[in-house]
Amino acid sequence: MSLATDRLQPSATSFDGLKTFIRSNSVWLLALALAVFFSLQSAFFLTPFNISNVLTQCVFVGLLAIGMTPVVISGNIDLSVGAVVGLTACIVVALQPYGLGVAVLAALAAGVLVGLVNGLIVEKMGISSFIVTLAMMSGIRGLTFLAIGDISLSSTDDRLNAFAMLAIGPISIVVVLFAGLAAVVGFVLRFTPHGRNTFAIGGNRSAAVDAGIAVSRHVIANFALCGLMAAICGIAMAANLGAAAPSFGRDYELLAITAVVLGGTRLQGGKGGVTGTLGAVLALAILRNGLNLLRVSPFYIPVIVGVVLIIALVLDRQVNGQAMRHGE
Amino acid sequence: MLDRKVDEDRSREGFAAAGEPLMRIRGIAKAFPGVRALAGVNLDVFAGEVHALCGENGAGKSTLMKILAGGIRPDAGEILHSGAAYEPKNPRDARNGGVVLIHQEMSLAPDLSVAENIFLGSLPCKWNGMIDRRKLNDDAERALKACGYDIDPAARVGDLPIARQQMVEIARAAAFPCSVVIFDEPTATLTEAEAESLFRTIERLRKNNVAIIYISHKMKEIFRLSDRISVLRDGETQATLRTADADEAQVMSLMIGRTLDRRQASTWKFAGNEVLTVSGLSSPGAFEDVGFSISEGEILGLYGLVGAGRSELAEAIFGLRPASGTLLWRGRPVTVRHPRDAVALGIGLVPEDRKKQGLVLGAGGRENVILANLARLSAWGLLRRTRAAALYSEFTERLRLRSPSPTTAVVTLSGGNQQKVVLAKWLATDPRLLILDEPTRGIDVGAKDEVYKIIRELAANGMAVLLISSEMPEVLGLSDRIVTMHHGRLTGEFKGGEVGEEDLIRAVMSTDHNRPAKPPAAA
């Protein structure tokens, strides 16, 4: 883009549109490439059983990553989601004697509450979300262990596990639920004032304030949404396994952030979206699953994921360098 | 379009007497830690007038504008808007009151569309909570058209050139009912054609009876656009003139005001050896074919307006910005690719923005001073504390630095003392060439004089000083020789004692007609 000419520039052509599309969805191309690669390497990869397996692997990190995306777009981060998974999984199992509905609602409420507290401290005290949610992560994990002990709880209400076992064809109900939630969050980000304000806040906070946007409210709402998604993840995990333990969801916050960043959401905020996050979640799940199928040692897998993340971000910087610098 | 006759027919004669001003500003004062920014500003702004606001850097223009736009609150004084007290607590208040500031730096969200930016904070919704995109884009289109802009409302703002981003901001201002629009140096980043289009917009706003406050350094624009001119100096209103009755020299002298502390041009100095000779230095997008030399004990002033490429030139010499051309250091060709190289040669740079580039704000003065001298103060990889303390106290004494203790965080010091810490840091490296980029920006008048004294002492002791400044009295008062820069080129060279303000102004302003193409804004 140059100002060398005095004449006004023509607006973007459709070719630019295509380029933008490829650029902003490059992680889907990565997922596709990985899928092609592994299907050539392993005959088992494209079987319905394995596909449904990959999709189920997507769900847990995916739920967290989808909830994390709006938080990151608004310029924050939430490190407490993994701990919330442990907490809510334990709540939904431990409170079953009071009825399954009560247990589920209590778990959801706990997730939202943690998110609200995160958001309130970040906005009202002006403390960086990194610190606030780091402290929250450590506090919640500790409290969960204190309350439950280092044991695992078995689910006593069969309906919970039975729900997780439901499937539509080969696709688990949990996957369907995840896809639905992702669509809702994506929709909110793209088509509602709350979503667009979220982008404005992350892109240029002072501009958002100047425009009279109630910045705090939007930021807190995003944290609450993130907590809610973490709670859903915790419930789904407990349902899937028919059990819960305080250690559930450990390190998941890092996997979720990996997916968000790989999906093209800018860690400084202002840019990103659910589509990219979904693609990244899928790409990472395919990578894990494929490497397992190829019998790569499980200890190599995190190394490979790390390398892929760095390469992806370096490439992104090369391609979108200008845009990135613009935002910093 | 800007026919004076038409203007006179309209209301130019009537301003002084045309009843109540739309906005009446009385006795506004504001102090920041260490700096008194405004000492009592009075200003009347009428509906349908373009009121130019002039003043040197640091005269208080930006502070005043921020107060009007609700960004900061004054310590004293009152503002009446349409007869009612106007005390905006935040930018939203100001906007609701009909006052809009078009910022020098853009205040747009880069990843949202043009339309979304225009209606940021009040996006139209459908019954189901979704944004009504059709209405949004139609309204935006209308707002853009009303300003005469042809911009796609769906385009991403970050993809637009700076000039068009500014248009979006203006369209945003015009999309809501507004009575006062403030432009803060709007043409600083625009090409001539883009500026023309901006002027047409301003004219349109004026015809709609909007009051326009226009801040600029460019006399040509001011005299072309404005109905009246107010001059601010040292935080006070000096005078308000009717543009038709005023001339440039009058405005200039009001801006400069104080009698200049002209140094007797000393002649012996030019016997010094050349320290640095620069020739054919170019950096695409910033400056082109720059050549000059500077000698031991000489203060070379580099005068130009903001955006002329002065800081970029300093960065290139210091190895912070890639550039082509030759540097001769004491007669020997050298390459400087990294600040390390520059420091090794004996070049120090006191940057323009000390808070961002020059200081570790949370650290104490001593930490900051030793930062550029770690190698010299260390033995076996460990810092020699006593030596560091000795160095610090030596320079605090020399520079008369006033800090409660060596470990007091510099962020709490006044602007003048902060600047002394930066100076001390570089002086401790014992440079042969010291580049000072706006050394007195944002510091008190008293502290300024002290900094001037220090600069003179340094030169008297044989240091070469490259003084970059947009404050004319500073350049005139200190420099042995002055070169002027305009749009990335050197436009003149003057002897310190023999040049007047008018010469400098002419050298940096009146070459507009043959300026080179505007460098890319993204650079």
Q: Which of B159, B176, B193 is the last residue of a domain?
A: B176
Q: Which residues of A touch B125 (CB under 8 A)?
A: 192-193
The set of residues, in sequence order, having a beta carbon less than 8 Å from that of B482 and lying 6+ positions away, is: B300, B301, B302, B303, B475, B476, B493, B494, B495, B496, B499, B504
Ramachandran angles phi, psi of B243, nearest 5°:
-55, -35
Output the domain CATH number for residue B64.
3.40.50.300
Most confident region among A150-159, B4-13, B400-409 by mean pLDDT: A150-159
pLDDT digits (tens, 9 = 90+) for B137-176: 999 998 888 777 888 999 988 888 777 888 888 888 878 7
Mean pLDDT of A10-18: 57
Domain shared by B94 and B12, yes or no: yes
Identify residues of A whose CB sits under 8 angstroms from chain B CBs.
1-4, 6-9, 11-12, 191-193, 196-197, 199-200, 203-204, 206-213, 270-271, 322-323, 326-327
Asked if the model's pLDDT at residue B205 lies above 70, the reply is yes
Domain count, chain A: 1
B103 within a domain of the structure (yes/no)? no
Chain A, nearest residue to B126 by Cα: A192
Ramachandran angles phi, psi of B111, nearest 5°:
-95, 5
Does B194 lie at the interface with A, CB-CB under 8 angstroms? yes
Output the domain CATH number for residue A245.
1.10.3470
Contact A4 B517 (CB under 8 A): yes
The 3-state DSSP class for residue B242 equals: strand
The 3-state DSSP class for residue B31 equals: strand
Enclosing domain of residue B19:
1-98+178-257
B323 within a domain of the structure (yes/no)? yes
Q: Say which of B121, B125, B521 has its CB closest to residue A3.
A: B521
Q: Which of B257, B284, B306 is the last residue of a domain?
A: B257
Mean pLDDT of A214-228: 95
Spatial separation of the C-alpha atoms in residues A155 and A150, rounded to whole Å: 16
pLDDT digits (tens, 9 = 90+) for B445-478: 667 778 888 888 888 888 899 999 877 778 888 8
Q: What pLDDT, on a 0 to 100 scale, did the predictor assign at position B469?
A: 86
Domain count, chain B: 4
Spatial separation of the C-alpha atoms in residues B21 and B11, rounded to whole Å: 13
Mean pLDDT of B212-239: 86
Q: Which of B153, B176, B199 is the last residue of a domain?
A: B176
Domain shared by B86 and B143, yes or no: no
Domain shared by B76 and B215, yes or no: yes
Spatial separation of the C-alpha atoms in residues B321 and B323, rounded to whole Å: 6
The interface predicted TM-score (ipTM) is 0.76
A38 within a domain of the structure (yes/no)? no
pLDDT digits (tens, 9 = 90+) for B243-260: 888 887 788 778 766 544
Enclosing domain of residue A235:
44-327
The set of residues, in sequence order, having a beta carbon less than 8 Å from that of A10 and lying 6+ positions away, is: none
Q: Which residues of B touch A208 (CB under 8 A)?
A: 109, 120-121
Of residues B110, B151, B161, B114, the one with CA closest to residue B523:
B161
Strand partners, B434: B348, B465
Interface test with B, best of A5, A7, A8 (most B CBs within 10 A): A8
B387, HSE (Cβ side, Cα atoms, 13 Å) = 12
Spatial separation of the C-alpha atoms in residues B499 and A136, rounded to whole Å: 65
Least confident of A23-37, B17-31, B443-457, B503-517: B503-517
- Global confidence as pTM: 0.70
Domain shared by B157 and B281, yes or no: no
Our CA dihedral for B135, B137, B141, B142, rounded to 10 degrees, sits at 20
Domain shared by B138 and B193, yes or no: no
B426 within a domain of the structure (yes/no)? yes
Question: What's the length of chain B?
Answer: 523
Spatial separation of the C-alpha atoms in residues B330 and B90, rounded to whole Å: 55
Least confident of A219-228, A260-269, B197-206, B394-403: B394-403
Spatial separation of the C-alpha atoms in residues B121 and B141, rounded to whole Å: 18
The 3-state DSSP class for residue B482 equals: strand
Asked if the model's pLDDT at residue B263 lies above 60, the reply is no
Contact B109 A203 (CB under 8 A): yes
Distance from CA of A284 to the nearest CA of B (A): 26
Domain shared by B426 and B497, yes or no: no
pLDDT digits (tens, 9 = 90+) for B378-421: 777 777 778 778 888 888 888 877 777 777 778 777 777 888 88
Q: What pLDDT, on a 0 to 100 scale, did the predictor assign at position A244?
A: 93
A304 within a domain of the structure (yes/no)? yes
Contact A204 B193 (CB under 8 A): no
Domain shared by B196 and B84, yes or no: yes
Asked if the model's pLDDT at residue B10 lies above 50, the reply is no
Q: Report the run of H or E that residue B73 belongs to, with start and end.
A: none
Report residue A126 as tokens.
Answer: 């002006």
Chain A, nearest residue to B134 by Cα: A191
B265 within a domain of the structure (yes/no)? no
Spatial separation of the C-alpha atoms in residues A28 and A50, rounded to whole Å: 19
Q: What pLDDT, on a 0 to 100 scale, did the predictor assign at position B448?
A: 78
Interface test with A, best of B92, B93, B103, B112 (most A CBs within 10 A): B112
Contact B158 A323 (CB under 8 A): yes
Does B441 lie at the interface with A, CB-CB under 8 angstroms? no
Given a contact cutoff of 8 angstroms between Cβ atoms, the answer to whether A175 and A58 are in contact is yes
Contact A4 B90 (CB under 8 A): no
